Amino acid sequence: MGETMTMAKALNAGLRRALEADPKVLLAGEDIGKLGGVFRITEHLQRDFGPERVVDSPLAESGIVGTSLGLALRGYRPVVEIQFDGFVYPAFDQIVSQVSRMRFRSMGRLSVPMVIRIPYGGSIGAIEHHSESPEAYFAHTPGLVVVTPGTPLDAYWMIQQAIASDDPVVFLEPKRRYHEKGEVDLTEPPLALDAARVVLQGGDATLFTYGPLVKTCVEAALAASAEGRSIEVVDLRSLSPLDDAAIRASVERTGRAIVVHEAVRTLGIGAEVAARIQEGCFYTLEAPVLRVAAYDMPYPPSKVESAYLPDLDRILDAVDRSLAY
């Protein structure tokens, strides 16, 4: 059974299904109740499930996350919404010092089944602190699961899988893809939460990407095919843990790897993926692993973000360089 919906609607439907399935699931965040959130991801959920399960919180990210940590330790499954990516930093200490470490600190006696939803990435013309790519901070932190959907189908199922997880999950939502539509199969999840997905199969090189740039990489692969090049696209989906088996299998098929993401290049997710490919696929590689990323600078004003973020031309240039070896 399938249905066409936007990523925003898919997330809303996934949250609704989780709320229906488990009375211990709670939502909390700024303006998520009556307003339905800035991006309307939680629209009508407070109306249908009540203000005690869909809570309009104070403007205090550290307080939202800290309170939700306490709820998780008491058996609830809170889902926290951080209104914009740049607003997560006041809660950073709670996330990396408390939420991530509780299971280790308690030697496995305690679990923290909570989800921290963060709209992230650019291309919406937003002002400062409203377009960031903080994924590497969280993927660097042991104890956190970090995932990001690239399609409405993944959004619908991954949010439910994240809520069902007994580990804390940082759930990154590519805000530029909120209103793009796709087919959503409502019957069963296509993949495990921590599995990568081969979006397009190819034989000449692999584009590894995630979240907001999955669609862009598919467009680049299709453009390259017009020139007789066969480019594989792999959506990582899970940034921590990484699906090493899927990454290795793709590189063994193509012999070339290019990692593409919106975050800055230095010490980004691409650096970790490149290192693992170098370590695990050295004798398979036909060319160095390349990275296409944002420039190492603060996120620029919205009028010039198109020059800052990776686009079709920069990805195709990397494909050309890789195939030239």
Helix (DSSP H) and strand (DSSP E) numbers for the chain:
12, 14
Tokens found for residue 325 = 């070896």
Nearest partner of 236 among 274, 189, 267, judged by Cα: 274
Annotated active-site residue in 44, 130, 179, 261 = 130
Contact at 8 Å (CB) between 61 and 39? no
Question: Please, where are the H alpha helices in the chain?
Answer: 7-21, 45-49, 61-73, 92-93, 102-105, 135-139, 152-164, 214-225, 244-254, 269-280, 305-308, 312-323
> Phi and psi at residue 107, in whole multiples of 5°?
55, 40
Tokens found for residue 224 = 């390259």
Nearest-angstrom CA–CA distance, 241 and 145: 7
Amino acid at 214: V
Active-site annotation holds for 130: yes
What residues are annotated to the active site?
Answer: 130
